[in-house]
Amino acid sequence: MEIVQRLAAACGYGDSSKIGRATNGDYLIGVGSFDMTGPAAGVNMMGYANMDQSTAGIHFRLRARTFVVAESSQGPRFAFVNLDAGMGSQLITIKVLERLKSRFGDLYTEENVAISGIHTHAGPGGYLQYLVYSITSLGFVHQSFDAIVNAIELSIVQAHNKLKPGSIFINKGDVENAGINRSPSAYLLNPAEERARYPNNVDTQMTLLKFFDAAWYATHGTSMSRNNKLISGDNKGAAARFFEDWFTSNTNSSSTPVTNSSNRSNISTLVEKAKAIKATGGKPCGNSTSQGAFCQSNVGDVTPNVLGAFCIDSGKPCDFNHSSCHDNDQLCMGRGPGYPDEILSTQIIGERQYQKAVDLFVSATEELTGKIDYRHPAILPIQMLRLGKLIILSVPREFTTMAGRRLREAIKETLMFLISNGNGEFNNNTEVIIAGLTNNYSQYVATFEEYEQQRYEAASTLYGPHTLSAYIQEFKKLAEAMAKGEKIMKGPSPPDLFKAQLSLLPDPFGDSRPPGTNFGDMKQDIIVPKNGTFTKGDKASATFWSANPRYDLLTEGTFAVVEMLQGQHWTPVYDDDDFSLFFKWKVDDSYLYSMATIEWEIPKEACSGVYRLRHFGSSKKTKDSPNEYFTGASSSFAVS
């Protein structure tokens, strides 16, 4: 299988002078990233608990992104992993730590490793260890679990191996119109004097760390609806992809631009050249031989559907107090800024986060210095990480806006005023942020007042009205221990239920293809517009006879490629990790044959030239037979 090397699709590159890289500083810093895209066919998605929502292709690939920060080669350190997944999982943490122990001994433990999910609802499920979260996925899905564990391990290994001296800068700013409160009536039950201290009923502030990039901002990963079946990192995954593309294009200004003679040719020449190159047909191929993290925060009552919630039958706004229509909450649906196009909504919300991150990244001047420290109680894990004046509170739940504010303020107050032995290390400049959905998942935390109304967040606050008070109490213990330099007594370890997992989802059992065809042959070739050429903004698509993508996830590879003709050679310029390219899988009406459709929404930045769409995959004759790899390409087409 060929590995596609990413090329910038733009015809030129930006100015790298404004980016800047720290080459020395107070810390050792390492970053890593690895593909964690799970099975793209027939696996229920984690998030909406909708049994009809099973994977059927890829919007863009999912990744585990890690940063490791250490005081010195032998000094204190921590690893923070940002997952393009719904949430952290205790079983994932257990298995990752087992692997890290075999590699590094006791260097990375449950105390100093945080694994946080961005809360996309468009990733394969079946990776949490408790059955309640795996019912709709028909139990545990080993392929989903293994993809995530492997990616976390290898991203940490990458970050560890890349450790080098560097500086870290912090910056803050407000993100405009990327989230609204989805339970405003519950928020209004919080004391008026408390609400008066804040300008909005959601937290709009983004906190950014500049080493490459990590940014915390609270908004749900639900721009993609419960009817979506394409694997996607949703708006935060999109923001990360946009940032990585921006950073790459602005730090490779000396690279050769993607151009060829056809860019300077007239349209008729492009069209004639495209017409001369036909589809290749399926053929065998061999085996397979750029970082920004947009982290989740106190996301509980924050939705990216910023246009509001409306009744799908009448089009009128949903009931304010209950978010329902005629006492039926299933009729109430949120609308994103690109409504009714959820892909566009995902892009817009992702861009709003990405654009603010770029602003903060470029303008960051305040350097972080000081100690690295951490504290962690294990059954339902809570964790506190310190990076100089920055405190990260790792929570295994979705805190509402006000619940998160109360927790942050309580910990800052504890660090500043209540600890007599703190030696003045913590002051009013101390920054406290929440990393939500980290290390495990146990649903929501609402304030006492919000709990009384029993909207969705409150009804999912499992331990009752005083849950927030309990979290504040336990985090204060961590804060006090950290300020005093004391250790926390380790509690009992969480159970490892890996061997007890129930898996009812059957494996694919082998593929067949229509008589007289090969895997990778065209079912429907490119349909060229009447004028003979596509223009920027058009959509080009082709459908191939294919096989179930669960046979090989093509990790760090791709199922779909856009290739551009460069002289006499085809050069890959987009793949299924790009926002503009879609890989869609389904079976035909007979349920006997698989089809893969590749759709390319031609970006405005694309160069004029000759292109084709190419598909990679693998098949099996029977469930237990070896994989056979194949590829196929469409006819060529012109883009002007």
**Beta-strand (E) ranges in 6-94?**
27-35, 41-46, 54-58, 63-70, 77-83
Q: Beta-carbon neighbour count of residue 538 at 10 Å?
A: 13
Instruction: Locate 497 and state its tokens.
Output: 């239920």
In angstroms, the Cα distances linking 124 to 62, 128, 418, 505, 607 are 10, 11, 45, 13, 34
Q: Beta-carbon neighbour count of residue 358 at 10 Å?
A: 18
In angstroms, the Cα distances linking 182 to 59, 300, 329 are 26, 9, 13
Rounded to an integer, what distance in angstroms lies between the CA atom of residue 354 and that of residue 176?
A: 12
Rounded to an integer, what distance in angstroms lies between the CA atom of residue 151 and that of residue 156?
A: 8
CB 441 within 8 A of CB 49: no
- The C-alpha angle with vertex 301 and arms to 297 and 304, in degrees rounded to 5, equals 80
Instruction: Locate 564 and state its tokens.
Output: 């551009």
Q: Output the known binding site.
A: 119, 220, 398, 444
Strands 581-587 and 522-524: unpaired
Instruction: Locate 271 and state its tokens.
Output: 């069209």
- The C-alpha angle with vertex 126 and arms to 120 and 130, in degrees rounded to 5, equals 105
CB 115 within 8 A of CB 438: yes
Question: Which amino acid is it at 133?
Answer: Y
In angstroms, the Cα distances linking 118 to 79, 85, 438, 578 are 16, 6, 9, 19
Q: Output the known binding site for Zn(2+).
A: 119, 220, 398, 444
User: Which residue stretches of 428-466 are H helix?
Assistant: 448-453, 456-459
Rounded to an integer, what distance in angstroms lies between the CA atom of residue 311 and that of residue 317?
A: 6
Q: Beta-carbon neighbour count of residue 167 at 10 Å?
A: 17
Rounded to an integer, what distance in angstroms lies between the CA atom of residue 385 and that of residue 406?
A: 18
Rounded to an integer, what distance in angstroms lies between the CA atom of residue 630 and that of residue 624?
A: 18
Strands 431-435 and 390-394: parallel
CB 383 within 8 A of CB 389: no
- Among the listed residues 58, 348, 350, the one whose alpha carbon sits nearest the alpha carbon of residue 228: 58
Question: Which amino acid is it at 336?
Answer: G
Instruction: Locate 505 and state its tokens.
Output: 């989802």
Rounded to an integer, what distance in angstroms lies between the CA atom of residue 508 and that of residue 121?
A: 24
Question: Which amino acid is it at 320?
Answer: F
Rounded to an integer, what distance in angstroms lies between the CA atom of residue 42 and that of residue 591?
A: 13
- Among the listed residues 365, 438, 352, the one whose alpha carbon sits nearest the alpha carbon of residue 116: 438
**Beta-strand (E) ranges in 363-441?**
366-368, 372-375, 383-387, 390-394, 398-399, 431-435
Strands 444-445 and 398-399: parallel
If DSSP codes are grouped into helix, strand and coil, which group holds residue 89?
coil
